[in-house]
Structure 1
Amino acid sequence: MESLKPLLLLSIALLLDTLGTVLFKHGSNMSVQTTQTGWRGHVESIIGTLKRKEISLGVVVYIIEYIVWIGFLSTTAVSIAYPLSSINIILILIASSLFLGEKVGKRRWYGALMIIVGVFLVGGTA
């Protein structure tokens, strides 16, 4: 059971990181209207975006993810952990397609395949 702990922590951290990223993107896609112009308008727009519930929830998810990630790091060498975190790129690619409706072309899927191969070569000894 102890050998499953790192894998479980990594899986949870990756899923939370993906969820947080999707929440940030979703929240930032909803533009905030401002009556100000120039830099004041930009500041007002940024503050309005930060007040969106998706952004706030994304921050909470990221805080939990970092706590889980620290737990994972306590069980795994960083030279293995960091390459394994690249799996998140694949998960975000899939999530952006499924939940955000983004188009994912062949080149991106080929790149994702290369990342998977790299993860196994560099971090696959975990």
Structure 2
Amino acid sequence: MNLATFGFIITGVLLNAAAQLLLKAGTNALGGAIHLTASNWFGTLVKVGTQLPILAGLACYAVSLVVWIMGLSRTDVTIAYPMLSLGYVAAALGAWLFLGEVVPPQRLVALGVIILGVVLLARS
């Protein structure tokens, strides 16, 4: 995989992780869990749809899709798709840094295994 292809793939992964973090920040701003019922669905959707972090997250998803397609057009899906697992690592790091979430030791080990797997994959 050349540098440009890797750049497209990793940018798509990071934008996807950023989208997750922004969506979570938006739901946190709404007070946590969202419950839809027959009587509140419209008002809830309006509240969700007007949260700036949620809108930014959706924009990240849209851009990540375009970037991901660019990357996929340049490499095998058997290489590109497993690289999406780096999104778990990026999202966990971002959740710890920006959302104050705790990342316990067992999860850190699991993230290390993911990184090792991606390194092995990229070298194949």
Task: Tell me if both proteins adopt one fold, taking TM over 0.5 as the criterion.
Answer: yes
**Aligned-partner SS, 1:40:** coil
1:112 aligns with 2:111: yes
1:124 maps to: 122
CA deviation string 1:7-43 (max 9, x = no partner)? 11122112211211111000011127xxxx9531254
Provide the TM-score with structure 2 as the length reference.
Answer: 0.86
Structure 1 contact 6–76 (Cα < 8 Å) conserved: yes
| In structure 2, distance between residues paired with 1:38 and 1:65 | 32
RMSD: 2.0
CA deviation string 1:35-89 (max 9, x = no partner)? xx95312542233112211111111111001000000000110001011111111
The percent identity for this pair of structures is 28
**Aligned-partner SS, 2:89:** helix
1:102 maps to: 101
1:89 aligns with 2:77: no
Letter of the structure 2 residue corresponding to residue 18 of structure 1: A
1:40 aligns with 2:46: no
**Aligned-partner SS, 1:75:** coil
| In structure 1, distance between residues paired with 2:14 and 2:37 | 38
Match runs of 1:1-126 below 5 Å: 3-31=2-30, 38-121=37-120, 123-125=121-123
Which runs of no fewer than 5 residues in structure 1 stay unpaired? none
| In structure 1, distance between residues paired with 2:42 and 2:102 | 31
Higher Rg: 1
Which runs of no fewer than 5 residues in structure 2 stay unpaired? none
Letter of the structure 2 residue corresponding to residue 125 of structure 1: R
Aligned residues: 120
Structure 1 contact 80–125 (Cα < 8 Å) conserved: no
